[in-house]
Structures are given as structure tokens and as C-alpha cells.
């Protein structure tokens, strides 16, 4: 009986250690340091590579009308004002990259998701610079990689 109880305690401990945990805003601020300041953002080339590899989800948090006008292929639209009701649609086993035209709304979304226990970063370059980056060969390469990723699913 002691053995079983010991094994159960170890398993519960492992599960708790692996699962991202929600935290309070106070706890987040108290733990904020230079490492977090650097880790909370990602640049366009790194974002594209992670999305192409299937290791990250790009979440466009603009309003539906903005997303309908134009968006980055492969992105998921969850407007910022819908995030509290829809955040559970996001996988906890992948990096969540929040994005908007510059980075104001995406940083708010990143913080919200971080407090909910997700590993989240915001697109430092913003969608406008990303759209500028995705021209010519870069656009073709990105779309080819997305096609391969979809075929693997």
C-alpha cells in the first residue's frame, strides 16, 4: 500500500511539474526580470520557423474585420475581446505567438495567456513588418512549408 501511495505521489508531482500553471498578476510582476523581458517576444523569422515546424500557433488577435481584410496564412483569429471566452481553444503543448499590426494588443494577449498558464510570446515586429518580410522568395518558402505541414496532419 505504501508503495502504491508513493508511486501515486510521484506521478502527481510529475504531472504538476509539467503542466503550465496559472499565476496571479502580482506573482508575474514580482518575478519579472531581464530574462522574462527578453523571452516574452519573438521576431518574424523565428516565428515563421516555429510555425512552419508545427511547434507554435500564430494567433492574430485583431478584430474579425481586420483579419478578413488581410492576414498571415496559417494564423488563427481570436480577437482580443473574445480571448477570455476562447483561450481554451489553444493547445497547451505549443508555443502561442500573439500578433497584431504593431504589438500593443498582442502584448496584452500574451500577458493574459501567460497568466492562464500558456507559454506565450508576442510578435515583436508586428504583423505589418511581417507582411513586408513575406515578399517574393520568403512568401513562397513560407507557403511551401505550410503546405508540407498540412499534408503531415
Domains and CATH numbers, the chain: 22-152 (3.40.250.10)
Residues 88, 92, 97, 101: what is their CA dihedral angle, to the nearest 10 degrees?
0
Number of Cβ atoms within 10 Å of the Cβ of 63: 16
Q: Which pLDDT score, from 0 to 100, does residue 102 have?
A: 94
Condensed to tens digits (0 to 9), the pLDDT of residues 24-58 reads: 888 888 998 999 898 899 999 999 999 999 999 99
Query: Do residues 60 and 99 lie in contact, with contact meaning Cβ atoms separated by under 8 Å?
Result: yes
Condensed to tens digits (0 to 9), the pLDDT of residues 86-114 reads: 999 999 999 999 999 999 999 999 999 99
> Residue 16: which pLDDT band, with cuts at 50, 70 and 90?
very low
To the nearest whole number, what is the mean pLDDT of the chain? 87
Q: Please, is 69 exposed, middle or buried when counting C-beta atoms within 10 Å of its C-beta (0-12, 13-18, 19+)?
A: exposed
> Residue 149: which pLDDT band, with cuts at 50, 70 and 90?
confident
Condensed to tens digits (0 to 9), the pLDDT of residues 49-86 reads: 999 999 999 999 999 999 999 999 999 999 999 999 99
Nearest residue to 78 (alpha-carbon basis) of 90, 95, 91: 90
HSE-up (13 A, CA, CB side) for residue 142: 21
Instruction: Please say if the pLDDT value at position 1 is more than 80.
Output: no
Nearest residue to 96 (alpha-carbon basis) of 44, 138, 42, 143: 42
Whole-angstrom distance, CA of residue 101 vs CA of residue 92: 25
Q: What is the pTM of this model?
A: 0.80
Whole-number percent of the chain with pLDDT over 70: 86
Q: Which pLDDT score, from 0 to 100, does residue 146 have?
A: 84
Amino acid at each position: 500500500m505504501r508503495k502504491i501511495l508513493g508511486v501515486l505521489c510521484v506521478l502527481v508531482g510529475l504531472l504538476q511539474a509539467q503542466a503550465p500553471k496559472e499565476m496571479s498578476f502580482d506573482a508575474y510582476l514580482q518575478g519579472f526580470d531581464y530574462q522574462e523581458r527578453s523571452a516574452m517576444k519573438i521576431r518574424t523569422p523565428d516565428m515563421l520557423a516555429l510555425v512552419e515546424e508545427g511547434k507554435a500557433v500564430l494567433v492574430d488577435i485583431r478584430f474579425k474585420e481586420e483579419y478578413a481584410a488581410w492576414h498571415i496564412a496559417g494564423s488563427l483569429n481570436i480577437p482580443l475581446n473574445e480571448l477570455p471566452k476562447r483561450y481554451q481553444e489553444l493547445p497547451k503543448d505549443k508555443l502561442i505567438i500573439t500578433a497584431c499590426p504593431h504589438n500593443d494588443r498582442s502584448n496584452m494577449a500574451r500577458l493574459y495567456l501567460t497568466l492562464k498558464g500558456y507559454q506565450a510570446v508576442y510578435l515583436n515586429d508586428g504583423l505589418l513588418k511581417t507582411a513586408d518580410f513575406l515578399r517574393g522568395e520568403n512568401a513562397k518558402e513560407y507557403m511551401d512549408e505550410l503546405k508540407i505541414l498540412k499534408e503531415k496532419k
